[in-house]
Amino acid sequence: MEFPKKVNIIEVGPRDGFQNVKDFIDTDHKVKIIELIQRSGVTAVEVTSFVHSKAIPQMADAKEVAKRVRGMFPDLRAIALVPNERGARNAFDCGIREVSYVISASEAHNLANVRRTIPESLEGLRQIRERVPDLVVRLDIATAFGCPYEGEVPREKVFLLIDEALKAGIREIVLCDTIGIAHPLQVADLAKRVQERYPQETFTMHLHNTRGQGLANIFAAMQQGIRSFETSVGGLGGCPFAPGAAGNVATEDLVN
């Protein structure tokens, strides 16, 4: 086990953290929080999500947030989550050059989350790559460690999504513990296996803290050589379509 001397942190609070806040957060306030995060030294932030406002009302101002953040911080690695080609085009038109696209390893969760089958989501991924070629796309594999509807998710389903993503030209894969069900041995095992199977690719982990094991899971992943993690300021976050899911690992806890 090789413990890294440093890791990359991608702050997801402005997207994953804010999406569960019921009261609408003023756009100026969102941008100010992103500014403070950037001033703290964070170099990569998932700033918003280009989803329909009926699905997640908090993201109704995604275009405004994206435009203002790109104008204020041109050197910030500003990432947006997109559910489809339309979202990808909207993000690109607002100056975003890197997006996260989510597909669940669990069919049931994918249907609940984006109302598509996994094959339909994969076709959507290929369309984004073909039709918005200048956009960098990361694949977020949701429920990689377990599903609120199906329970255990075989790692072969995760490998299948990785294989299809690589065919589409994706080079960063985010393994997501959507409901915070993972434990350190499970995280270490999957971290080891994906790196052995795909030694040239970049893997990031997105781990929730539902059972208080988020930092222990990150530690286990770091021991297996994972050097990139998504966390959320204050531990905010959770999946609206994953019953019982709590927030993410707090960014400040990981830094500490």
Tokens 């339909």, residue located = 120
Number of alpha carbons in the 13 Å side-chain half-sphere of residue 190: 29
Distance of alpha carbon 151 from alpha carbon 78, whole angstroms: 33
Distance of alpha carbon 238 from alpha carbon 226, whole angstroms: 22
Distance of alpha carbon 95 from alpha carbon 109, whole angstroms: 30
Which residues neighbour 72 within 8 Å (Cβ) at sequence distance 6 or greater?
31, 35
The single residue of 94, 147, 176, 239 carrying the catalytic annotation is 239
Paired residues of 137 in beta bridges: 99
- Token pair of 79 as six digits: 């990432």
Distance of alpha carbon 173 from alpha carbon 5, whole angstroms: 22
Annotated catalytic residue 239: yes
Q: Among all residues, which ones are annotated catalytic?
A: 239
